[in-house]
Structure 1
Amino acid sequence: MNYPFPAPHQWYQPGDLIIGGIASQIFYVFYEVSFKEHPSQNMFDVPYVVTKFYQHILALAFAVKEINENPKFCPNITLGFHIYDSYYDARMTYRTTLDLLFKSHRFVPNYKCDTQKNLIAIIGGLSADTSFHMADTISLYKIPQLTYGSFPPDKNYGSQVPFYRMVPNEAHQHMGIISLLKHFGWTWVGLFTFNDNSGEHFLETLEPSLSHNGICLTFTQRIPQIPRFDNLDGFQDIVLNIYVHLTDDKAHVFMMYGESLIIIWLRSILFLSDPENREASSFKKVWIVTSQIDFILTGFQRSWGLQIFQGAISFTIHSQNLLKFQEFLQGIKLYWTQVDGFFKDFWEQAFDCTFPNPSVPIELIDLCTGEESLQSLPGSLFEMSMTGHSYSIYKAVYVVAHILQGIYLTGFKKRAIGNSGILKIQDLQPWQLHHLFHDISFNNSAGETVTFTDKREMRGGFDIMNMVTFPNKSFIQLKIGSVNPYALDGKEFIIHEDKIMWPRGFKQVVPVSVCNDYCHPGNRKKRKEGQKFCCYDCVPCPEGKISNQNDLDNCFRCPEDQYANKNKNGCIPKLITFLSYKEPLGIGLTSVAVLFALITILVLGTFIKHKDTPIVKANNRDLTYALLIALLFCFLSSFLFIGHPGKMTCLLRQPTFGIIFSAAVSCVLAKTITVVAAFMATKPGSTMRKWVGKRLSNSIVLSGSLIHVSICTGWLMTSPPFPDLDMNSVTEETILQCNEGSVTMFYCVLGYMGLLAIASFIVAFAARKLPDSFNEAKFITFSMLLFCSVWLSFVPTYLSTKGKSMVVVEIFSILSSSAGLLGCIFAPKCYIIVLKPELNYIKEFSIKLLL
């Protein structure tokens, strides 16, 4: 098969059953083809080795070695392995997959010849594209394929691809990324991703979730997986775009999705863009790295370091540090094995030395001495502790081993024994393993349970790591959290913020990455037209609403028992208020009521003392006493409106006020009618004489009062008043008041009282010019005019006020109207009794008529 690559790298170890492997360690950089010579002569340079990924190959070899040395696994049966590389290239992946399936000494597709190779399962690949390219061939032969890289499932393959993923579902990682961004309030984020199917799928899946959670991508930079120099203009454009994004002042958080080669890309671009600043310490960014990506450099970049990624937060496949694996790595020395086709290129590029080559003079090269040690390599070139991908490969080998052990123990031995009595393990076919993967569950040497979900993915979550770099170009990763959807409620996402080492140079304790400054409490967001929704203006909350957090979309109202403070960023409990005896207004109204009550008592005492004088006898002395007593109770009824409203107080105050006032006005009406009837009775032959006297006045007072009593009784029976809280009338107060129950009945009470007053006014107005020394119709007219004016102005004033001011208006109306009656009717009489006693006389016949 002609192909412009050299012979593929491989490592083959024979065994009764072979586990195949496709690693991703080597790549080539292509150059422009000029056709001046055969293209294969200069299409590629020496291979670039991702030296850190040599551990993936060693992890497979170590797991096979450990299983072969363990007598518990299939006695007398040895496992072997055959490992190739994908070269990060689709055509080469197809080639090496076919090699893995059929090649022994020579390559004959779809035909096994010479030495029999019992390939039982294949582990690979690292990326989605590599795995799917492998599956195109492997799926035809129904060989189990165990992938060790985290990637989204391709919709085009569906369930037909026999993948068994040794890593958790990538959706868990998406959830962790969203939770991390929301936890720190990062809403303005850049994204670097490889320009492949996985990158597009990642965008399609994650971008809607980002938008739903209020997070915007400030840019999406797609990067080709392998740089090609046959289009230098396009390459330079990509370099320039990436550099512009890296120097963005607003976006302080970048996400990386793809494969580890993206690290090499970004580090190279920074070097090309700013050779003087090779450490790139001026780029203060927080990198969020997905689990597919490992922090790597090639051997040619050993002097650059990874300081640009200081403080990076990475989602990693969970791993355990196996001490035996470290011992295994310590045993790797120069020429440790002659069959490992990956070793030479790895060793040369890892330690920057060269194996002896007859075609190259020794004085021109640095020979590998054998004194080199893996422990001396920086973490970007090789790690002694097992990485997440290596741990996945290690577990994959053990999954196959446990399945083989299960088959061995459950009867395959009996079925496979022929006449010779020897176990023919070669008769086991790869497709026979598939139905056993679903039920596999075991504890590995690290004490962790290994099992698949119903979607053929490893059950579990991801670790969240924080990268800490050091001046000597080394780094460590510290665990700061985890993402595990199978954890207890509330523990699915855990982050220990206090353990994070942020990039150097940030002024804030926690870096901020937003399109614009936060909208502080008291303000809300207002979207800017023509820009992404993460870019917005801040406007103050409207009156009566608050915002108590940064970046709220809408302001909200306080609870009913609270009100917004001046800055509109918090709520203040409302004061519970009512018209109290202790406040100045309550003291003033109480004093006025007491004063007028005392004046009424004084007037009543004066009238009783001078009860036999003509002016007291005139206009029915009993009605005068009744009116004074009614006015006294009118003044005292105002006390029901002051103080803490209670159930009984609310129930009684309006009916009491109404009944007393109706009795007082009825007395005034009776006095007025009595005056008119008395003068009509003085005419010769008048029939009104029989109506003049106490019977008429008593009937008027009783009938007027009883009608009002019946109205109030109906009110109390149908919809009685009750204590209530008014939380809306006054912004800063909760008013404890009496709810009248039925507003209609309340105005019926006022209306009836008004009818009595109008009737009294009309009758008094008609009798104002009747001749008599003590005709009080004029005074009653003025009192009723004042009374009606007060209560007519009361209604609109009452309706226009709120809170306890309504109570004050009603008390003022009660006191002023009662004082008007007292003053207009009794002040002139007291003036005569006390100051002008010589005027206190009347004609005899008039007195008799009025008695």
Structure 2
Amino acid sequence: MCRLVPDNYQNFLAFVFAIEEINRNPHLLPNITLGYEFHQIHYSHWRLLESFFRLHTGQDEVPNYTCRRESKSVAVLTGTSWENAGKTATLLELYNFPQFSFGSFDPTFSDRGQFPSLYQVAPKETSLATGMVSLMLHFSWTWVGLVITEGQKGTQFLSDVRAEMNRNGVCVAFLKMISNYLTSPVLALQKLDFLTRETPPANVVILYYDIESLNDINYQVGQYVVTWRVWVTNSQWHADSSGRNFILDSFHGTLIFSHHREEIPDFKTFIHTANPLKYPEDTFLTLYWFQNFHCSVSDSDCTLKNCLLNASLAWLPMNHFDIIMSDASYNIYNAVYAVAHALHEMLLQQVGTKPIRNGEMTVFSSWQLHPFLKKMQFHNPTGDLVNLDKKSNAEAKYDILNVWNFPEGLRRKVKVGEFSPHARHGQLSLSENMVEWATGIIETPPSVCSESCDPGFRKSLQEGRAACCFDCTPCSEKEVTNDTDMEQCMKCPDHQYANSQKTHCLQKLTIFLNYEDPLGMILLGAALGLTVLTVVILGLFVRHADTPIVRANNRGLSYTLLISLAFCFLCSLLFIGRPSTATCILQQTTFALVFTVAVSTVLTKTITVVLAFKVTALGTRMRQLLLSGAPNSIIPFCTLIQLTICSIWMGTNTPYIDTDAHSEHGHIIIVCNKGSLTAFYCVLGYLGSLALVSFTVAFLARNLPDTFNEAKFLTFSMLVFCSVWVTFLPVYHSTKGKVMVAMEVFSILASSAGLLGCIFAPKCFIILLRPERNSFHGFRDK
């Protein structure tokens, strides 16, 4: 029972072909010939029921009264519409009459309680949405429109495909539900707004077509030239069969998910031989022949004449008649075989029993087939498994067909791939080189809301838009993305850094203030040069040890100061080179102690100068104290205090090797961590206190009369020393890495050079350039 139109006439031919093939098979129903009746249905509930009563009783006047005696139908095949199958199922259940639906699988019919006598031949379509979304992902289509015909299956498919799209990051650009024009009179007034370009454009549209909607959406779309879109649809879709050839076709390049099946070779032969002479009772075939093969009608008996010689349906172009078996036709083919196998098994079971006979005919009721149909599983002639068990019906495997519109707009369907929900190694396989896209498109068309974010950028969602609509934001300095369309940038580990493109992390180079660096070489040269200069001055003072200028300025303290300054210059070398635990400790302790000796020596010299000029006023006891060298005890006393501070520092929080991975881009700097900044500042504070006392005493003695009074020079040297270290503190806190170490070395060299220059430069000038002033005669003359 189906509605006979050109689009589904192939269903009727498949039905006839299956029956004839079974009747020729000596191993299936031997000595039994299958017959059939064909009833054309109308879109009316009462007409549909009337067709069934005529089928079941043989007359349409008295319900439930059977006037048939010779033959009787044992099963009925209903059309693809859920409306048809659903309406007849309720009535057929009253008679336990087997009913086969050859439409697409409907979960509603799997309810044994509601439809115990209805069987579905088609496999489950629960993986259709998964297959279509897999195709979207294969081509990186993330901005997809949905056009779905209304109905129970359409609603279920919408739920499935939306869930699958959400799981895989594919967004719905628009959703259009197309109404059934029989239940919605305003269909003709619907605005097909999905046929216009939107912003951003969705170049790919999933079109779910359901026969039960009775809505020829293909015809409506075909009236427009929509060549910029790729349509992805299900096997229910069919091209416009009005016979028109469209070179510029909206459906050129369409991708169709069709149930996988093996080809039935004899079916093409059957199509070649089917004609009105072979089936004179088929009025539709006669009419179809008349329309397509330029026949004329005989006036005498209304038969066809003057048709094309050896005309065949196989001659017609695909947009008139497609000889490739459709899903519905294949389901009809399997349904007929299912009935035949059930009859065969039932008859085998009756062997050995006495059959109830009416003349020469075997008499049985249609309900007796149910025990055999409920668990029916068999292989059809092509080898495909057919399963009628409602619980174990397997999911469909799909062939992906591509509509080629050339030559001459014939809409040829070519297999370009497969989708299998059970495949182990990849569910989707596709031959992209075989895909013909829409007219004017030579490569895979994109369908995205936003262009992909390249490596080095991350997706930043646009407020109020779908997840597929985003902006591309560059990763920050220490972050990378190594793939397209990443939502978050990955932070590089501390020992790595991001390259300039922010695409991957690179290993940082380990560096330190090295002797080979330009800055290290300069500081090394300065330290060694100043050390040599200090040694030269020391040698000069030793050579002229008995001259007035050397003796007047306490040569013992001068020697001590020069030696301590030489060690001050040399201790700066501990800060250059690869740090180790020993050098980190020696850096701070050596710096603290030698500078304490130097500054305390300056303090001793200053006090000695003051006491020398005040000795007369201070009396005999103070003179004896001065002559005994008691002021010199200031040096070990001050050094002992500094040594105590350093001991506490080293005992509580010893300096250690540390790494600085943030100061310089792409580098890890090895530095000495002071352990305790408080202890370090205590050392500097103590040195600063000694320098401040020395500066104060020297400043007070700056105007004392004497030819070789060095109080002024001591004052200026302490001023330079304090200025250097006061400047050091803020600069030290504002720098990091090698620059911080270099700043500390520079402060050591600058402050030591300040002491050396301010105190000893004037004396060296007199010794070397004014020797006449460095004699007893010159001293007396002065």
| Rounded Cα–Cα distance in structure 1 between residues aligned with 2:742 and 2:390 | 76
What displacement does 1:373 show?
0.4
Deviation, 1:209, is 4.7
Tell me which residue corresponds to 1:698.
Answer: 636
Q: Give the corresponding residue for 1:433.
A: 372
Equivalent residues of 1:735, 1:804 under 8 A apart = no
8 Å CA contact 1:623–1:667 kept in 2: the answer is no
Task: Give the 3 Å change call, closer, same or farther, for CA 765–832 of structure 1 in structure 2.
Answer: farther
* Matches of 1:637 and 1:357, distance apart in 2: 128
1:707 aligns with 2:678: no
For the pair 1:292 / 2:236, whether they are aligned, the reply is: yes
Aligned in 2, Cα 1:257/1:708: closer, same or farther, shift over 3 Å? Answer: same
Matched, 1:576 2:505: no
Q: Offset of 1:803 from its aligned partner?
A: 4.5
Matched, 1:492 2:427: yes
Distance 1:377 1:556 in 2: 59
SS in 2 for 1:380: coil
Query: Which residue, 738, 749, 759 being the options, matches 1:815?
Result: 749
Give, in whole Å, the separation in 2 of the partners of 1:496 and 1:76. 48
Shift in CA distance, 558/407, structure 1 to aligned 2, threshold 3 Å:
farther
Given that 2:204 and 2:231 are in contact with CA atoms closer than 8 Å, whether structure 1 keeps it comes out as yes
Change (3 A) 1:671 1:807: closer
Q: For residues 582 and 671 of structure 2, what CA distance do their matches in structure 1 show?
A: 12
Taking the aligned partners of 2:110 and 2:366, their CA distance within structure 1 comes to 33
Q: Distance in 2 between matches of 1:443 and 1:840?
A: 127
What is the match of residue 328 of structure 1? 270
Map 1:588-737 → 2, pairs under 5 A: 588-610=522-544, 627-642=561-576, 645=578, 649-672=579-602, 674-675=604-605, 683=618, 684-686=620-622, 692=630, 697-705=635-643, 707-716=645-654, 720-726=656-662, 729-730=663-664, 733-737=665-669
1:129–1:198 Cα contact (<8 Å) kept: no
Partner letter of residue 321 of structure 2?
Answer: F
Are residue 798 (structure 1) and residue 752 (structure 2) matched? no
Counterpart pick for 1:374 among 308, 313, 337: 313
Cα separation, 1, equivalents of 2:350 and 2:542: 131
Residues 216-274 of structure 1: CA deviation (Å, up to 9, x unaligned): 3345151535699xx6xx46524xx3388257794433332224699994565478x68
- Distance in 2 (CA, whole Å) between partners of 1:399 and 1:631 is 110
Q: In the alignment, which residue of structure 2 is the partner of 1:337?
A: 279
Shift, 1:376, TM fit: 0.4
The amino acid of 1:667's aligned partner reads V
Contact 1:59–1:393 (CA under 8 A) maintained in structure 2: yes
Q: Any conservation in 2 of the 1:192–1:220 contact (CA below 8 Å)? A: yes
CA separation of 1:215 and 1:761: change in aligned 2, threshold 3 A: same
Instruction: State the 1:413 CA deviation.
Output: 4.1
Shifted more, 516-525 versus 119-128: the winner is: 516-525
Name the CA distance, whole Å, in 1 between partners of 2:248 and 2:54. Answer: 37
Does structure 2 retain, via aligned residues, the 8 Å contact 1:661–1:753?
no
Matched-pair contact (CA < 8 Å) for 2:717–2:758? yes
Q: Bigger shift: 610-619 or 443-452?
A: 610-619
Whole-angstrom distance in 1 between the partners of 2:674 and 2:92: 85
Residue of structure 1 equivalent to 2:151: 196
Does 2:697 align with 1:766? yes
- Counterpart contact for 1:417–1:423, Cα < 8 Å: no
Structure 1 CA distance for aligned equivalents of residues 491 and 63 of structure 2 = 76
Amino acid at match of 2:87: H
Q: Distance in 1 between matches of 2:738 and 2:66?
A: 101
Q: Is the 8 A contact 1:316 1:462 kept in 2?
A: yes
Q: State the SS of the aligned residue for 1:436.
A: coil
- Report Cα offsets for 1:161-183 as digits up to 9, x if no partner: 45654444433221222233344
1:147 and 1:349 map into 2 onto residues whose CA distance is 31
1:197-236 matches, within 5 Å, as: 197-207=152-162, 209-210=164-165, 213-218=169-174, 220=176, 222-224=178-180, 234=186, 236=188
CA contact (8 A) 1:651 1:722 kept: no
The answer to whether the Cα contact below 8 Å between 2:97 and 2:366 also exists between their aligned partners in 1 is no
Match of 2:90 in 1: 136
For 1:68 and 1:706, how far apart are their aligned partners in 2?
Answer: 116
Moved more, 219-228 or 326-335: 219-228
Paired amino acid for 1:831: F
One-letter amino acid of the structure 2 residue matched with residue 242 of structure 1: L
Mapping 1:144-293, distance limit 5 Å: 145-150=99-104, 153-154=107-108, 160-162=114-116, 164-207=119-162, 209-210=164-165, 213-218=169-174, 220=176, 222-224=178-180, 234=186, 236-238=188-190, 241-242=191-192, 245=195, 250-259=201-210, 265=216, 268-269=219-220, 283-293=227-237
Q: CA deviation at 1:90?
A: 5.4
Corresponding residue for 1:470?
406
* Identity %, equivalent residues: 30
Structure 1 residues 154 and 84: alpha-carbon distance in aligned structure 2, compared to 1, 3 A threshold: same
Deviation at 1:371, TM superposition (A): 3.7
SS of alignment partner, residue 307 of structure 1: coil
1:39 alignment counterpart: none
TM-score, length-normalised on structure 1? 0.75
Tell me: CA distance 1:796–1:694, structure 2 relative to 1, closer, same or farther (3 Å).
closer
Tell me if the contact between 1:576 and 1:734 (Cα under 8 Å) persists in the aligned partners.
Answer: yes
Matches within 5 A, 1:749-764: 749-764=680-695
Once the two structures are TM-superposed, the CA of residue 88 in structure 1 deviates from its matched residue by 5.9
Gapped runs of 5+ residues in structure 2?
777-782
Q: Determine if contact 1:521/1:550 at 8 Å carries over to the other structure.
A: yes
Q: Following TM superposition, by how much is the alpha carbon of 1:817 offset from its aligned partner in structure 2, in angstroms? A: 2.7
Cα offset for 1:387? 2.8
1:545 touches 1:558 (CA, 8 Å); kept in 2? Answer: yes
Task: State which drifts further: 185-194 or 261-270.
Answer: 261-270
SS in 2 for 1:661: helix
Find the aligned partners of 2:121 and 2:314 in 1 and give their Cα distance. 28
Q: CA RMSD in A?
A: 4.6
What per-residue deviation string (whole Å, max 9, x for no partner) do you get for residues 410-440 of structure 1?
A: xx347955699x9987586243236524xx3
Aligned-partner Cα distance in 1 for 2:549–2:96: 127
Structure 1, gaps ≥5 residues long: 1-21, 27-48, 275-279, 843-851
**1:393 maps onto 2:323 in alignment:** no
- Evaluate the alpha carbon distance shift between residue 318 and residue 147 of structure 1 in structure 2; reply closer, same or farther with a 3 A threshold: farther
In 1, the alpha carbon distance for the partners of 2:564 and 2:81 equals: 100
- Alpha-carbon distance in 1 for matches of 2:588, 2:50: 106
CA change 1:823–1:527 in 2 (3 A) is same
Deviation at 1:73, TM superposition (A): 3.9
Contact 1:121 1:400 in 2 (8 A): yes
In 1, Cα distance between the equivalents of 2:260 and 2:580?
A: 71
What is the deviation of 1:660? 1.8
Counterpart position of 1:44: none
Tell me, what secondary structure is at the counterpart of 2:621? coil
Q: Which residue of 437, 441, 455 maps to 1:502? A: 437
- For 1:775 and 1:257, the matched residues in 2 are separated by 108
TM-score between the two structures when normalised by the length of structure 2: 0.80
User: What is the SS of the residue equivalent to 1:472?
Assistant: coil
1:297 positional shift: 0.7
1:288 partner amino acid: V
Q: Partner of 2:412: helix, strand, or coil?
A: strand
1:763: how far off? 4.1
